[in-house]
Amino acid sequence: MTHAILIDNIGELTTNDPDLGAGIGGRLSDAAVVIDGDRIAWVGPASEAPAADERIDAAGRAVLPGWVDSHTHMVFAGDRTAEFEARMAGEGYAAGGINVTVNATRAASDAELGANLGRLVGEALRDGTTTMETKTGYGLTVEDEVRSARVAASQVDAVTFLGAHLVPAGADPAEYVDLVTGPMLAAVAPLVSAVDVFCETGAFDGDATERILTAATAAGLATRVHGNQLGHGPGTQLAVAHGALSVDHLGFLDDADVEALAGSWANGSRGTVATVLPACDLSTRMPLAPARRLLDAGAVVAIASNCNPGTSYTSSMGFCVATAVLQMGLSIQEAVRAATLGGAIALGMHEDRWVDPRGEAQGRVGVIAPGARADVQLLDAPSVTHLAYRPGMRLTHGVWKAGVRAV
Ligand SMILES: N=CN[C@@H](CCC(=O)O)C(=O)O
Ligand SMILES: [Zn+2]
């Protein structure tokens, strides 16, 4: 028998379900939510709420779906503080810095990698992140990519293979793409749900990106692309042409890129999510991705943390949401939606019964609606507006992941 929890006296409930309330966030006031086991069982006016085993009085606080962080690189060892200091002293970011983390990751044991990942997942959960994707990409040998994927699969909701993060020091670029698309992909495929490519000068060019995306699709895996991060390149167009789930970064887009991203959703088709990474843009002092322009054009936008030791060493989705509002021109409701439902769409988890890396079927995430996984945040504030109105403040008051209270 499951344990039912009633959360009532909610000041503002963001459901992301247009069927449950008016407006972009599906927002309700004076609402209640019932969690039963790992799923949302009921959502509606507090006066009509069914009885439950346990009652949580929200005391007028805001409730929203847990954050869905669709882009991180958290299987790593080592530290890049010196590189960050140099950047803040005026040096630019270059893809080659990844090698520092590759060396430290290869030298670390599985237990060390798992402990560091656990620390980061725990930090994120305490700040409201209830769905977490992470990538491999600091191993770059068959053995180190496989163990990175295995460590990740034991702790997160989605694992992405990023063997195409950098051509490792000393390797021949063409031979390395052969390795990534051949033995490395075959070895990690059972542990991951998607394949990513860093399509950028200094990493992988358009031809290599196409080869890797094609091999991923042939292996039955979803695809995503790191595109247009350090300059204008073919990443976004390739991602859309290939039907990738998302293309992420997007600091350097031209009109054709924006049109391609928006057009990918035309006529009800499943398109490519435009994932913006506000904390990374700030930490690398690069242009902020044009999230406002993308939304205005009709693209589907996600916000993610890109937590990694090089370009964005934070998992705070609240910080990313505040930045998207204050500096990228999104409304608070648009930013909250992008950091919850947007991330779920980017991961293909907005529909019921996706399967986690442990083989367990899960309810959809990014919404608070009957049948969805019970991933819920309670803010110590009366509305989500406070996430941007009070930037830098920790507003997390309660967090449930799959119905289990974490905060
Ligand atoms: N751009 C490529 N990969 C990461 C950075 C990785 C690193 O610098 O260690 C990113 O998304 O920013
Ligand atoms: Zn990244």
Do 22 and 160 fall into the same domain?
Answer: no
In a domain, 361, yes or no: no
- Checking DSSP bridges between strand 404-405 and strand 396-401, what pairing results, if any? antiparallel
Concatenating the DSSP letter of every residue in 325-348 gives HHTT---HHHHHHIIIIIHHHHHT
Q: Give the confidence band of 314 by pLDDT, cuts at 50, 70, 90.
A: very high
Counting the structural domains of the chain, the total is 2
- Band of residue 24 on the pLDDT scale cut at 50, 70, 90: very low
* 22 has pLDDT over 90: no
d(CA 57, CA 251): 43
**Mean pLDDT for the stretch of residues 117-131:** 98
378: in domain:
yes
Print the SS3 string covering 117-144: HHHHHHHHHHCCEEEEEEECCCCCCHHH
Is 267 annotated as a binding-site member?
no
Say whether both 95 and 173 belong to one domain. yes
Q: Are residues 125 and 141 in the same domain?
A: yes
pLDDT of residue 23: 44
Q: Indicate which CATH number applies to the domain containing 336.
A: 3.20.20.140
- Average pLDDT of the chain is 96
CATH number at residue 46: 2.30.40.10
Let me know whether 139 and 234 are in one domain.
yes
Do 344 and 370 belong to one domain? Answer: no
Check whether residue 231 and residue 266 sit in a common domain: yes
pLDDT per position as a tens digit, 145-204: 999 999 999 999 999 999 999 999 999 999 999 999 999 999 999 999 999 999 999 999
Residues 171 and 214 in one domain: yes
**Residue located nearest, by CA, to atom 11 of ligand 1:** 306
User: Is 345 touching ligand 1 by the criterion CB < 6 Å?
Assistant: no
**Same-domain status, 276 and 294:** yes
Asked if 225 contacts 247 with a C-beta cutoff of 8 angstroms, the reply is: yes
For residue 354, list its beta bridge partners: 362
Q: Which of 226, 250, 276, 284 to mutate to test the pocket of ligand 1 (most atoms within 8 A of CB)?
A: 226
User: Does residue 359 form part of some domain?
Assistant: no
Global confidence as pTM: 0.97
In degrees and rounded to multiples of 5, residue 116 shows phi and psi of -65, -40
| Mean pLDDT of the region 57-83 | 97
Query: What's the DSSP call for residue 378?
Result: E
Kindly give the distance from the C-alpha atom of residue 259 to the centroid of ligand 2, in angstroms, as a whole number.
23
ipTM of this predicted structure: 0.98
73 CA to centre of ligand 2 in angstroms: 6
State how beta strands 62-65 and 12-14 pair: parallel
When pLDDT is cut at 50, 70 and 90, the band that residue 94 belongs to is confident
Q: Which domain holds residue 56?
A: 4-66+366-405
| Domain-located, residue 214 | yes
Handedness of CA 234, 191, 305, 110 (dihedral sign): negative
Q: What is the pLDDT of residue 26?
A: 60
CB contact at 8 A, 98 and 138: yes
Q: Same domain, yes or no, for 249 and 204?
A: yes
The band of 25, judged by pLDDT with boundaries at 50, 70 and 90, is low
310 in a labelled binding site: yes
